[in-house]
Structure 1
Amino acid sequence: MNTVQAIILAIIEGITEFLPVSSTGHMIIASSFFGIAHDDFTKLFTIVIQLGAILSVVVLYFKRFFQSFDFYFKLLVAFIPAVVFGLLFSKKIDALLESPVTVAVSLLIGGIILLKVDDWFAVPEVSSPVSKEITYLQAFKIGMFQCLAMIPGVSRSGASIVGGMSQKLSRTTAAEFSFFLAVPTMLGATAKKCYDYYKDGLVLDHDQINLLIIGNIVAFVVALLAIKSFIGFLSRKGFKLFGYYRIIAGIVLLIIHFFIHPLTII
C-alpha cells in the first residue's frame, strides 16, 4: 500500500462509515481494484482507520457522552453481542473479508431492505435524549442487529439503525444511538485486530505506522463533514436513496465479477 492508496481508502471510510452502505465493503472493493486486498497490513488498515472515523462522533457529540451512567450501561448492553459473536466467529469473519462477491450480494440484499424499511417502521421524528428513550432490552436487540454487519457489505450503521427502528425508535434517535454504539464497537475491533496481527508474528514498520496515522487523520476529518449531513438527510428523506445506491452498486459489482473481470483478492 502506498500513501495515495491509503488516503483514498481513508476518504472512502470517512464518507461511508455512517451511511448505511457498508464502509468495510467499499474498502474491500477499492483495495481489490488496487490489488492490495490480500495483504495482511491492508486488512489491518481497513479496520484500524475506522477508529479515526468513529472518533468524530466523540468530537461532534462530546456533551452527549456525559448524559448519565445509565447511558453507558445501555451502550455496554448493546456492545455485548458484538463481543460474543466476534470472539466465536472471528476466523469465519476474516474469511468473508476476502470475498468481494459477498460484499456485492450483501449490498444488493441490503438495498432491497432499505427500500422498504421506512414503510415497515414508520415512527414520527422526535428530539429527546437517547439515554431516556431507549430501554435496556431495546439496546440489547439493537446490538444483535449490529452483529449482522460482521458480514461484509451489510453495514454496521445500517444494521443498527434498522434495529433501532424495529424497536419503535425514530430514524434520528436510532442513527444517533448507532453512532454512539460505534465507539466501543470499533475500539474493541481495533484492539482485537491489532492483537491478532502481533500474535501472528507481524510487526509494523515505520512506513506502515505513518500510513495508519495518515489514514486515521483523513478518515476523522472526512467523517466530521459527513456525519451531520447524513443525520439531516436521513431525518428528511429516509433510506430509499441509499437503497437504490446499494442495489445499483451490488448489480454492477456482480456484472464486473462474472462477465468482465473476476474481483479476486487472493
Structure 2
Amino acid sequence: MNIIHVIVLAVIEGITEFLPVSSTGHMIIASSVMGIQSDDFVKLFTIAIQLGAILSVVVLYFKRFFQSINFYYKLLVAFLPAAVFGYLLSDRIDKLLESALTVGITLFIGGIILLFVDKWFNKPDVKDEEEISYLTALKIGFFQCLSMIPGTSRSAATIVGGMSQKLSRKAAAEFSFFLAVPTMFAATAKKLLDFYKNGHVFTGEEIKLLAIGNVIAFVVALLAIKTFITFLERRGFQLFGWYRILVGGVIIILYLSGHNLQVI
C-alpha cells in the first residue's frame, strides 16, 4: 500500500461515508482497479480512517453535541440495536463481507428503493433532533442494523429509517450523522483490538499512512456533509438512487465477468 492508494481510499471514504451510496461498494471498485491486496493492514486502514470522518461530524455540529444530556441518551438508544446484533452476528457479517456479489446486488436494490423514498415519505412532522422521541430513536437504530448487509449503506438505512418515522430529510440526515459517531467509533475500536489480538504491531510507515488517511478523510467529509445537506433539501434522493444502480451494476458485471474484486 503506497501513498497514492492512501489518498484515493481516504477521499472515497470522506465522500461516501455519509452519503447513501455505500462506502464498501466504492472501496471494492477502487481496490480492484488499483490491484491492492487485501492484507490485514489494508482491511484495518479502511475502517480506521473512519475516525477522521467521525471528527468532521463533531466539528461541524460541535454545539449540538453539548446542548443537552438527552442528546446522548437518544444516541445511546439508537446505537444499542447495532451494538447487540453486531456482536451476535459478527461472524456472519464477516462472511457476507467476502461476497462482492452481495454488495453489488444490495447496492442495486437499495438504489431502486431510493428512487421512490421521496414519494413514500413526503409528510414530515419532525424537523429537529430535539423533537425525536426515544421510541423513534430506537426504531432508527433497528434500521441501522440493515447496514450490516454489505452494500446497504449505513447512511441510507438510517436516513430512510428516520424519514419513515416522519422526520424531515434534513433532520433524518443529521441524526444519521450523529449516530455515525458512536457506531463508527465502536467499529474502529473493535477492528484495532482485533488487529492487536492477532499479534500485529504498527510499523512507523503504517502509522504515517493512517495519519495521512485520517486527515484527508476528515477534510473531504467536512465538504461532503455540507454539500449533501444542501443537495438533499433541494433535490431529494433520486440521483443517489440512479447512482447506486449504476455502481451496483458495475460490481455485478465485473464479478460475473471473472474480475478478482478486492472485498474490504
TM-score normalised according to structure 2 size? 0.95
Q: Which runs of 5+ in 1 are unaligned?
A: none
Match of residue 241 from structure 1: 239
Q: 1:55 to 1:37 in 2, by over 3 A?
A: farther
Amino acid at match of 1:173: A
Match of residue 166 from structure 1: 164
Contact 2:31 2:262 in 1 (8 A): no
Identical amino acids, percent of aligned pairs: 69
Q: Which runs of 5+ in 2 are unaligned?
A: none
Superposed, 1:1-266 pairs within 5 Å as 1-124=1-124, 127-128=127-128, 130=129, 132-259=130-257, 261-263=259-261
Indicate the RMSD between aligned Cα atoms, in angstroms.
1.7
Question: Which segment drifts farther, 33-42 or 19-28?
Answer: 33-42
1:77-115 per-position Cα deviation (integer Å, ceiling 9, x unaligned): 001111111111222222222222221111101101101
| Distance across 2 between alignment mates of 1:205 and 1:7 | 19
| Distance across 2 between alignment mates of 1:57 and 1:75 | 14
Amino acid at match of 1:187: F
Amino acid at match of 1:141: K
Contact 1:125 1:171 in 2 (8 A): no
Amino acid at match of 1:40: D
SS in 1 for 2:18: coil
Q: 1:179 to 1:140 in 2, by over 3 A?
A: same
| Distance across 1 between alignment mates of 2:27 and 2:220 | 15
SS in 2 for 1:141: helix
| Distance across 2 between alignment mates of 1:204 and 1:215 | 15
1:200-257 per-position Cα deviation (integer Å, ceiling 9, x unaligned): 1122111111111111000000011111110011011110000000001111221122
Amino acid at match of 1:163: G
TM-score normalised according to structure 1 size? 0.94
| Distance across 2 between alignment mates of 1:134 and 1:265 | 36
Contact 1:126 1:170 in 2 (8 A): yes
Moved over 4 A (4+): 124-127
How far does residue 38 in structure 1 lie from its aligned partner after superposition? 2.3
Question: Which segment drifts farther, 37-46 or 11-20?
Answer: 37-46
Contact 1:96 1:152 in 2 (8 A): yes
Question: Which segment drifts farther, 45-54 or 88-97?
Answer: 88-97
SS in 2 for 1:154: coil
